[in-house]
Amino acid sequence: MEKSVVEKIFDSAHKSYDSFLNFATFGLINKWQNQLISATDLKGRILDIGTGTGEIVRKLREKDKECFIYAVDLSFNMLKTAKNKVFDEKILYIRTNALKLPFKNSSLDNIFFSLVFRHLPREEITKELRRVLKQYGTVSILEIGKPESNIFYKFIHFFADRLFRPIGRLIFSKEEWDYFVESIENAMKISEIKPFFNKHGFNVKFLEKRFFGLIHLIVLEKIE
């Protein structure tokens, strides 16, 4: 998927993204995001990758009034929406590529992803996270999980591709909707999470399933 196409997808969805996400998660997305934040030991400098419409930023600011937040996204329209939603002098909105973050080595305390991690090349983004995180810094991820059962996975893929398609096509083009459905293939199984992140120098501090195991809440700590 070319960068320009990704930008186009999220630029076109900024007005309806929150409504669609609430519909697609049966209104549970806000609860999950708050649970992820509560499971994280928030410190001084926080990065939200793929900030979208700024929901994680809004919830972080409600939780901690003093932390400095960097919110990054490829989409100008998403960043504009987020900035209009939450603006103060301790939040910096940056349009950039998550694989080339404009931060010094070991400069950040916490990093958040909400339904973004699976859209990025797993090995590359994990190396970049290690680069910018301080020792014992954390990465907190809310993401779709791939079922261990292939039969259940095929059912979920069918559900997303067929049952949600009529609603999704009201917001996204065919190409854009296909991008979201295909991204499920990049989701991780619960059994893959610890081995993968341990291999890359992270300890899994918190790992819980939600919504029949289809949503994973993960908090990682950089340990070496």
pLDDT digits (tens, 9 = 90+) for 95-151: 999 999 999 999 999 999 999 999 999 999 999 999 999 999 999 999 999 887 766
Residue, of 155 and 138, whose pLDDT is higher: 138
- Report pLDDT digits (tens) over 185-221: 789 999 999 999 999 999 999 999 998 888 999 999 9
Other C-beta atoms closer than 10 Å to the C-beta of 183 total: 17
Angle (deg, nearest 10), helices 3-13 and 174-183: 110
Structural domains for the chain: 3-152+188-222 (3.40.50.150)
User: 1 falls in which pLDDT band (50, 70, 90)?
Assistant: very low
* Of 207 and 161, the one with more pLDDT: 207
- pLDDT tens-digit map of 56-70: 999 999 999 999 999
Beta carbons of 109 and 134 less than 8 angstroms apart? yes
Question: How far apart, in whole angstroms, are the C-alpha atoms of residue 168 and residue 39?
Answer: 31
What is the distance between the terminal CA atoms of the chain, rounded to a whole angstrom?
Answer: 33
What's residue 84's pLDDT? 95
Query: CB–CB of 36/70 below 8 Å?
Result: no
